[in-house]
Amino acid sequence: MTITITEVRNAASLQSDNLRMEVEINHPIHGWIPYCLDPSDTDMTINNDEVMALIGTDFVAYVPPTQAELDAALAASVRAERDARLLEVDAIAGNALRWAALDVETQAAWATYRQALLDVPQQAGFPNDITWPTEPTGDAP
């Protein structure tokens, strides 16, 4: 089944060749909804060529992200990775029984590792050049 789209609005190019677009389409069942035009899309429920014809030249031009925007996105990604690693550490350090089962040296190693993870954003090359701390070896209870 092919759905015919007759109205579009708020189109914006997502790349410099203007082949990928974010646009709102007036869907005959759902009304105005966001839609992404992508040449790699194989679903032909909505004919992307027809939608592109409706857009024509009425779209916001692509603006490449600034280095600051790229760095901010990378910093968020690195922090998310760091936070995931902290969750693994906190499953040990935050569990009194597991923590008590560790000897003093192993507790110190995990505490040092946890602090090094917290300090990742303070590294000189953050977010573009970071060194991940090495997780302590040995089995944790």
For 1-46, the pLDDT digits (tens) are 789 999 999 999 999 999 999 999 999 999 999 999 998 988 889 9
The residue-averaged pLDDT of 101-122 equals: 95
Which pLDDT score, from 0 to 100, does residue 137 have? 81
Establish if 140 belongs to a structural domain.
no
- Half-sphere exposure (Cβ direction) of 52: Cα atoms closer than 13 Å: 11
1 in any annotated domain: no
Does the predicted TM-score (pTM) go above 0.75? no
Phi and psi based region of residue 138 (left: phi greater than 0; alpha: psi -120 to 50; beta: remaining): left
Around Cβ 50, how many Cβ atoms within 10 Å? Answer: 13
Domain count within the chain: 2
Q: Are residues 71 and 51 in the same domain?
A: no
In a domain, 133, yes or no: no
Contact predicate 7/25, CB 8 Å? yes
Q: Is residue 104 part of a domain?
A: yes
Kindly state whether residue 129 falls inside one of the protein's structural domains. no
Amino acid 140: pLDDT:
58
Q: What percent of the chain has pLDDT over 90?
A: 89
Return the number of other C-beta atoms located less than 10 Å from residue 37's C-beta: 22
Range of the domain at 72: 67-122
In a domain, 97, yes or no: yes
For residue 67, the 8-state DSSP code is H
138 pLDDT more than 70: no
Q: Is residue 128 part of a domain?
A: no
Distance CA 107, CA 109 (A): 5
61, part of any domain: no
pLDDT category of residue 139 using cuts at 50, 70 and 90? low
CA distance 89 to 84: 9
- What pLDDT band is residue 123 in, cutting at 50, 70 and 90? very high
Is the pLDDT higher at 4 or at 137? 4
Q: What is the pLDDT of residue 44?
A: 85
Looking at the fold, whether 45 and 71 belong to one and the same domain comes out as: no
Tens digits of residue pLDDT in 68-94:
999 999 999 999 999 999 999 999 989
Residues 6 or more apart whose CB falls under 8 angstroms from that of 54 comprise: 5, 6, 7, 8
What is the rounded distance in angstroms from the CA atom of residue 113 to the CA atom of residue 119?
10
Mean pLDDT of 106-110: 94
